[in-house]
Amino acid sequence: MTHSLPLHLTSVETSTEPPLETRLAARLASLTTQDGFTSTRLPGVQLIASHCGHPRTPLMYEPSLVIIVQGNKTGYLGERIIHYGAGHYLIQAMPLPFECETHASDTKPLLGLSVSLDMTMLSDLVARLPSTTSTRMPAPMAAVSMDADMEDNVSRLIDCLDDSEQAAALGDGRIREVLFTALRGSQGASLRQLVAYHGQYSRIAEALTFLHSHYTQTLNVDALAQRVNMSASHFHHHFKRTTQLAPMQYLKRLRLLRARALLTQQDYQVAQAATQVGYQSASQFSRDYKRYFGHSPLGDRQRATETPAAS
């Protein structure tokens, strides 16, 4: 007589499919042709790759979500240390100068995506969500663990990157899904308050937008404060609280970061780069540059052709 096992014991199914993060990394690896940030067929979406580690170095990301599926990064913003690696996304609500260390190797490169914050799309999404009454100043830069919804949305976004028809028909919707999920996540307030148009947080964001458009000009705290309808003392306080830098310190670092891009990516001469970013003295520029980056501008320019770009 044959005895049947209970139904729940008749078979044991085990999945041999690799984890989603591993599958996402494999798909991004197949799309990546170079290290650094690479544009895709979707405007505002870039591939991120690095096949080697990079020591702690000054960087600035534009407002974006930086999604990492393989490898690890450590960010240093003032006294804060921000770890974001595989299975995390970094919310960069404002363009903040910070220092970043990349952990990667040729056998296990850093792989990820950068999704720019489309303020029109963000405003529309916020308008469709329930309003919140929180007045707490959110962190403009923070790492968040990807939940199942974000992983699914990132997977669908990657589907569009190697399919022109999907990109044309669904690309905006896929980006919208990713932003929507971030808005409902633990650091969504940092995105909501960007488009709230009230409070100190959005005023500092407005001041940063102006700075990034006019950093070559002669600027001072009084003019910046007046532009966002704040007293100079309150503006200085909230600006430093948000960015970890005084306004003129921020301006100097912005100019230096822009100059480094000109030297290393567009082959500018040192004096040309200094003038282009608003410095009136090439010697002062060189001193500030070496103090911030640890290298002379000329040395950085020469090394740029010898080493991979940091990402």
The CATH class for the domain spanning 197-303 reads: mainly alpha
Torsion of CA 97, 203, 213, 192, to 10 degrees: 70
Starting at the edge strand that comes first in sequence, how are the strands of the sheet with 45-50 ordered?
A: 36-39, 45-50, 110-116, 64-70, 88-92, 141-145
The pTM of this model reads 0.86
Contact between 172 and 120 under an 8 Å Cβ cutoff? The reply is no
Amino acid at 310: A
**Sequence ranges of the domains in the chain:** 20-194, 197-303
CATH of domain 20-194: 2.60.120.280
Q: Which two tokens stand for residue 209?
A: 């937008």
Check residue 267 and give its pLDDT.
Answer: 81
pLDDT for 121-171, tens place per residue? 999 999 998 887 666 778 999 999 999 999 999 999 999 998 999 999 999
Model confidence at 48, pLDDT cuts 50, 70, 90, reads: very high
Q: What is the DSSP letter of 17?
A: S
Rounded mean pLDDT, 299-307:
73
N-term to C-term CA, the chain: 68
pLDDT for 69-121, tens place per residue? 999 999 999 899 999 999 999 999 999 999 999 999 999 999 999 999 999 99
Burial (0-12, 13-18, 19+ Cβ within 10 Å), 27: middle
Model confidence at 179, pLDDT cuts 50, 70, 90, reads: very high
The continuous run of DSSP H or E covering 48 comes out as strand 45-50
pLDDT for 199-233, tens place per residue? 789 899 999 999 999 999 999 999 999 999 999 99
Check residue 203 and give its pLDDT.
Answer: 92
Check residue 9 and give its pLDDT.
Answer: 46
More confident site: 104 or 14: 104
Rounded mean pLDDT, 242-259:
96
The structure tokens 């567009």 sit at 266
Q: Is 197-303 in the same CATH topology as 20-194?
A: no
